């Protein structure tokens, strides 16, 4: 009788163990399905456009850069990159990087002209100056640059208006959401008078407007404009 009792316990345990494994596999499977579903829900125009629209409409437009201190109380960073020349051997870029200091309310940074060879070699800095943005415009603090060497005296966000409603009316050309990194982006083909005037394009020119940001860092984003040889990027965030 004792042997039968022991064998019965072993039999029950043998049945329970596989059931635990099956439940674990099902739990993992359902978790993956849910997570995958969340990723799919975020990889749609409505969700991406809502996130992007909420971010850009806080900044576009901001005519006075000092008003960014109200929108980013802890300070902010602005970056612009413009391809001013390109040939078969290299691309030449002008880069402006500014930091809004919350303590003294100054907006300072660097101005660089760089060269990126097309053969995969590292980028080289051709010229560099320290600069400051003031109520009167740019001031060159040191280095070889002069104010007239700056291709754009302002940023696109100082004149361009963007919001959810405007974005929803543009023709979307592409979108992307990364489940691994939480980053996402959306592309539009647009005809916009402000953009065309800013870059001295013809009134009917169509450009590609790209906006990208991170789900985890929704307080910053990047925007780029491309059309033919035009390649411009700017970002604003904490």
Tens-place pLDDT, residues 8-51: 555 555 555 655 555 554 555 444 444 444 545 678 999 999 99
CB-based contact 172:203 (threshold 8 Å): no
**Mean pLDDT of the 162-191 span:** 94
| Mean of pLDDT over the chain | 87
Closest CA to 179 of 39, 46, 34, 33: 39
Distance in angstroms between the alpha carbons of the first and the last residue of the chain: 75
**Residue 235, C-beta contacts closer than 8 angstroms, at least 6 positions apart:** 77, 78, 79, 80, 220, 221, 222, 223
pLDDT of 192 strictly over 90:
yes
CB-based contact 181:201 (threshold 8 Å): no
What the block records as the tokens of 136 is 């009167």
- Taking the C-alpha atoms of residue 75 and residue 71, their distance in angstroms, rounded to an integer, is 9
Closest CA to 45 of 170, 220, 209, 225: 170
**Residue 83, C-beta contacts closer than 8 angstroms, at least 6 positions apart:** 91, 92, 93, 229, 230, 231, 232
Rounded (10°) angle between helices 45-56 and 2-42? 60
Write the pLDDT tens digit of every residue in 109-151: 999 999 999 888 899 999 999 999 999 999 999 999 999 999 9
Looking at the chain, the whole-number percentage of residues with pLDDT higher than 70 is 81
Q: Which helix (H) or strand (E) holds 126?
A: strand 124-134
């Amino acid at each position: 009788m004792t042997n039968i009792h022991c064998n019965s316990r072993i039999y029950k345990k043998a049945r329970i163990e596989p059931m635990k494994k099956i439940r674990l596999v099902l739990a993992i499977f359902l978790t993956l399905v849910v997570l995958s579903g969340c990723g799919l829900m975020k990889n749609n125009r409505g969700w991406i456009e809502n996130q992007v629209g909420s971010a850009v409409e806080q900044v576009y437009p901001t005519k006075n850069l000092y008003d960014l201190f109200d929108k980013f109380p802890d300070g902010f960073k602005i970056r612009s990159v413009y391809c001013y020349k390109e040939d078969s051997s290299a691309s030449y870029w002008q880069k402006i990087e500014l930091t809004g200091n919350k303590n003294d309310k100054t907006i300072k940074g660097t101005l660089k002209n760089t060269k990126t060879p097309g053969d995969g070699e590292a980028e080289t800095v051709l010229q560099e100056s320290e600069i400051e943005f003031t109520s009167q415009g740019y001031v060159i603090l040191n280095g070889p640059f002069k104010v007239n060497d700056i291709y754009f005296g302002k940023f696109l966000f100082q004149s361009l208006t963007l919001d959810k409603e405007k974005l929803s009316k543009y023709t979307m050309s592409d979108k992307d959401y990364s489940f691994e990194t939480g980053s996402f982006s959306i592309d539009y083909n647009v005809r916009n008078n402000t953009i065309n005037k800013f870059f001295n394009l013809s009134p009917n020119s169509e450009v590609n407007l790209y906006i990208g940001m991170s789900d985890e860092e929704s307080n910053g984003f990047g925007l780029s404009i491309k059309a033919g040889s035009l390649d411009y990027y700017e970002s604003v965030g904490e």
